[in-house]
């Protein structure tokens, strides 16, 4: 553990803050043209940022966030990582993998959020299957008992003489969001190498950290990029969550981002049945990109966010001549939990 932390290196100085990162995955993920989907949507400058390829037990956007959260908060005395999420949480799977990489134990407090979450395939495949390989302790709870279960876990671990580090949902904290400040710069310079200037980024918005980090990153670069956050569940408070996190990032870094709540582009029209429910729009979006480009999305986050991109284009919310990036935030392992779902069996 000490050796691993010693290899945690300073990444950069942002504002008044020296940023530390604990390497866990492969940054520098590809930025590629989406040729088939570009033709389908008549959006010639459509690119995809492949953050499904960050590595670490199936990849996804939480790898970037965990690298910076753990770089900031993990100390040699910590012996257990504890986090929360839904049954098929990608963040929980990647936290368990990060713990394994660091030689730590992990405990996942997983919440039943879907009304049909007792489908045996949903409970035994996808991220749950990968978690069994990774070896975390898994605590199951419902939404009402979620906070109590977490408190009980942390109390029990401390009473056992262990020293847990709690990671909030999605690692969507000021330090975790630095992963997407870094990604904004990475994406911008990749596009510049192709002779392009990004004008839109479309991403899923769950716990707000990815969208907030991208907004902050482009603002720190001095680039006017619209970051569209597509809600995966209840959309009413997403803009407020992003704004609150941006305020926290400002305080953490000692900078003034000057982003008003009205500037935050939060789209709630593609929830499509609710959290974890692959409605018609989600399934169709997944099929479009799979058939056009061989890219696999998931039904919880990226399927809904690509449906949002398709809808925004049809509404004329972005010019067909603009350079638009679809951020693939991962989640593909969770797709296998939906093998019995009617959306994929009709």
- Interval 71-128: pLDDT, tens: 999 999 999 999 999 999 999 999 999 999 999 999 999 998 776 657 888 888 999 9
Catalytically active residues are: 89
- List of domains in the chain: 2-61+173-344 (3.40.50.1100), 63-171 (3.40.50.1100)
Q: Is 269 left (phi over 0), alpha (psi -120 to 50) or beta?
A: alpha
What does the block give as tokens for 96? 């368990």
Q: Is the dihedral of CA 106, 117, 234, 51 positive or negative?
A: positive
pLDDT in tens, 126-143: 999 999 999 999 999 987
Interior/surface letters 130-168, b for 16+ CB within 10 angstroms, e for the rest? bbeebebebbebeeeebeebbeebbeebeeeeeebbbbe
pLDDT tier for residue 7 given thresholds of 50, 70 and 90: very low
Per-residue pLDDT tens for 220-270?
999 999 999 998 876 668 899 999 999 999 999 999 999 999 999 999 888
- Please report where in the chains the tokens 């690119």 appear, as a residue: 47
Q: How far apart are CA 60 and CA 130, in angstroms?
A: 14
3-state helix, strand, coil in the chain (%, to 5): 45, 20, 35
Q: What are phi and psi of 305, to 5 degrees?
A: -70, -35
145 against 283, higher pLDDT: 283
């Amino acid at each position: 553990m000490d050796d691993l932390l010693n290899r945690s290196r300073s990444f950069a100085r942002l504002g008044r803050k020296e940023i530390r990162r604990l390497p866990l995955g492969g940054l520098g993920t590809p930025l590629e043209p989406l040729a088939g989907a570009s033709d389908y949507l008549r959006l010639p400058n459509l690119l995809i940022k492949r953050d499904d390829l960050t590595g670490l037990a199936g990849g996804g956007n939480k790898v970037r966030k965990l690298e910076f959260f753990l770089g900031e908060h993990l100390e040699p005395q910590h012996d257990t990582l504890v986090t929360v999420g839904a049954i098929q949480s990608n963040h929980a799977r990647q936290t368990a993998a990060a713990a394994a990489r660091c030689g730590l134990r992990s405990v996942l407090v997983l919440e039943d959020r879907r009304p049909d979450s007792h489908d045996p395939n949903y409970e035994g495949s996808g991220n749950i299957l990968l978690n069994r390989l990774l070896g975390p302790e898994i605590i199951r709870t419902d939404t009402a008992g979620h906070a109590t279960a977490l408190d009980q876990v942390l109390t029990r671990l401390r009473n056992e003489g262990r020293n847990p580090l709690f990671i909030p949902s999605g690692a969507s904290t000021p330090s975790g969001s630095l992963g997407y400040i870094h990604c904004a710069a990475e994406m911008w310079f990749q596009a510049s190498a192709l002779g392009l200037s990004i004008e839109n980024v479309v991403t899923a918005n769950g716990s707000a950290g990815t969208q907030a980090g991208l907004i902050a990153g482009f603002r720190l670069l001095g680039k006017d990029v619209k970051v569209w956050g597509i809600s995966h569940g209840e959309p009413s408070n997403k803009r407020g969550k992003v704004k609150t996190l941006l305020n926290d990032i400002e305080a953490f870094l000692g900078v003034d981002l000057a982003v008003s709540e009205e500037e935050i582009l939060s789209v709630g029209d593609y929830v499509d049945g609710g959290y974890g429910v692959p409605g018609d729009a989600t399934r169709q979006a997944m099929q479009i990109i799979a058939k056009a480009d061989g890219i696999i999305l998931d039904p919880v986050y990226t399927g809904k966010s690509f449906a949002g991109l398709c809808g925004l284009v049809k509404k004329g919310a972005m010019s067909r001549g603009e350079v638009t990036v679809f951020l693939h935030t991962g989640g593909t392992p969770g797709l296998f939990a939906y093998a019995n779902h009617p959306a994929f069996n009709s």
